[in-house]
Amino acid sequence: MTADLVEIPGYVAGNWTVDPVHSSVSFSVRHLMVAKVRGRFADFTADIVTAPDPLASSVTATIQAASVDTGNADRDAHLRTADFFEVDRYPTITYRSTGLRPDGEAFALDGELTVKDVTKLVTLRLELGGFGPDYFLEDPSKGARAGFTATGKINRLDFGVGDEGTVPGGAVVLAHSIDISLEIEAVRKTD
């Protein structure tokens, strides 16, 4: 599919980097089958390329696993151990896109997610928030910002994160399915 078949109002081709102050990488998982625990990673980077043909665009991202934050210091310390992320041995989580395709009103971003040296294909639903001037610059017309929302699900056991973990009666301590949510504001790189 070529760009003339994908119309994106205000689309700007270029190379972009994440503005971490205006972006988030978060997740949620059901606990004891009754409520969700939410968390985020505070330290992450990404290089985004919006190609002249939007479907040729790409992203590579790196998350520092030790930056996991669920709002509870004891739980976060446990998540950093070999029981979960084993951050001393596997300090980063990476994602590298392998393709982009239309998916209804949004896009499907296919890519390779690597956690603890295990790489699996993961597809994220990608929505474009838009493109506009960079109002943080003295002359906003000399820069640009873009917004992206990506969501998806993974099975944590596929990556060796945690175990089955059941309690008496058979309830699962942590669901296997993890919901992923990324809200990204990116700044176009200048030459």
- Number of domains, the chain: 1
Q: What is the DSSP letter of 20?
A: G
Residue 20 clears pLDDT 90, i.e. is over it: yes
Lowest mean pLDDT of 3-17, 27-41, 90-104, 109-123, name the range.
3-17
Which band of pLDDT confidence, cut at 50, 70 and 90, is reported for residue 9?
A: confident
Q: Greatest CA span in the chain, whole angstroms? A: 63
Cβ-Cβ contacts under 8 Å for 172 (sequence gap 6 or more): 32, 33, 164, 165, 166
Residues β-bridged to residue 148: 128, 184
74 vs 82: CA distance, rounded Å? 15
Boundaries of domain holding 112: 3-188
Once rounded to an integer, what is the mean pLDDT over residues 48-54?
95
Residues β-bridged to residue 187: 17, 145
Cβ-Cβ contacts under 8 Å for 120 (sequence gap 6 or more): 112, 113, 154, 158, 159
**Can you read off the two tokens belonging to residue 47?**
């290089």
Q: Helices marked H in the chain — which ranges?
A: 73-79
Tens of pLDDT, residues 128-186? 999 999 988 888 888 899 999 999 999 999 999 987 664 556 555 788 899 999 999 99
Encode 111-121: b = buried (16+ Cβ within 10 Å), e = exposed: bebbbbeeeee
pLDDT at residue 31, rounded to an integer: 80
Residue 1 clears pLDDT 60, i.e. is over it: no
51 vs 13: CA distance, rounded Å? 5
Residue 54 clears pLDDT 60, i.e. is over it: yes
**For residue 77, what are the CA distances in angstroms to 31, 39, 114?**
17, 13, 21
17 vs 46: CA distance, rounded Å? 6
Instruction: Give the pTM.
Output: 0.90
Residue 4 clears pLDDT 70, i.e. is over it: no
CATH code (residue 156): 2.40.128.110
pLDDT at residue 175, rounded to an integer: 81
Tens of pLDDT, residues 74-122? 999 999 999 999 999 999 999 999 999 999 989 999 999 999 999 999 9
**Can you read off the two tokens belonging to residue 72?**
């509870």
